[in-house]
Structure 1
């Protein structure tokens, strides 16, 4: 896997509960991430897998940039929730994404979010999105950084 941190069942349960409570209030998350599966959580680290469908790709057949941006946004919030089991993860102030390759309808991807620092006002996260090949991490599709205002 992409991380050396051991899975923490208590943090994973918290993040799953947080996600299930949040999803009904976000139509875009419901549309794009309804089938995302959380597979790992530890302090400040979350990983999930998603099977891409026609809803996730652009006119050229590759993962749409807006889907990658949504994933960076989503996994950053989940990583903040995993930092200290919080139930409010703030609002975005900045998202930056670097695209490196693509994935298509039918591909499985894995996304990892890491909270590098969660302070009283701001939280800083990073994200990596991989294509999964033969159930292992393959090429990196995109990397991102995400800053959130957490004093809400």
Structure 2
């Protein structure tokens, strides 16, 4: 674990948690709980491991981790891993162009999971990241994912809320 990478990532996640929890007349955003509930376990340049416990709000009608909640978590945490260090590009995280999740095994309400995220490549226009979600207790793989992001830095300029 590299302390500067952990600190940089934690600062960005705190910023995003604050931003997501501001809300407006329409309420909170769809990912308002993600950053606040995800704990950085380890981080290095271009990789991070997060811990996340499945709550009722993450579950389907049978109290299992919902696929949409998994996809949202993957979207947010594979974006977060871009902030393990300073970058020339992707200063604002970009927007998703492709998110592919393969669901391997279920996770019940209360399960603590580890989300291992990695940056595969970052260029001026696109970034590629991956994630593997595992049951912390057993090590069983729950899902794997790949995520492609498009760089929006030039569009964000001075008018960004971030």
Alignment partner of 1:84 out of 69, 83, 86: 86
Give the distance between the partners of 1:28 and 1:130, measured in 2 at CA.
23
Per the alignment, in what secondary structure is the counterpart of residue 30 of structure 2? helix
Residue 26 of structure 2 corresponds to: none
Query: CA 1:95 to 1:83, structure 2 compared with 1: closer, same or farther past 3 Å?
Result: farther
TM-score norm. by structure 1 comes to: 0.87
The answer as to 2:47 corresponding to 1:24 is no
The answer as to 2:144 corresponding to 1:143 is yes
Report the CA distance between 1:32 and its aligned residue. 4.1
For residues 92-103 of structure 1, the aligned pairs below 5 Å read: 92-103=96-107
Residue 24 of structure 2 corresponds to: none
Give the CA RMSD over aligned residues: 1.6
Give the distance between the partners of 2:69 and 2:37, measured in 1 at CA.
14
Give the distance between the partners of 1:29 and 1:39, measured in 2 at CA.
20
Alignment partner of 1:55 out of 37, 41, 57: 57
Aligned residues: 143
Superimposed CA distance per residue, residues 54-91 of structure 1 (whole angstroms, 9 cap, x where no aligned partner): 11111122100111101211121111112535642111
Give the distance between the partners of 1:12 and 1:88, measured in 2 at CA.
18
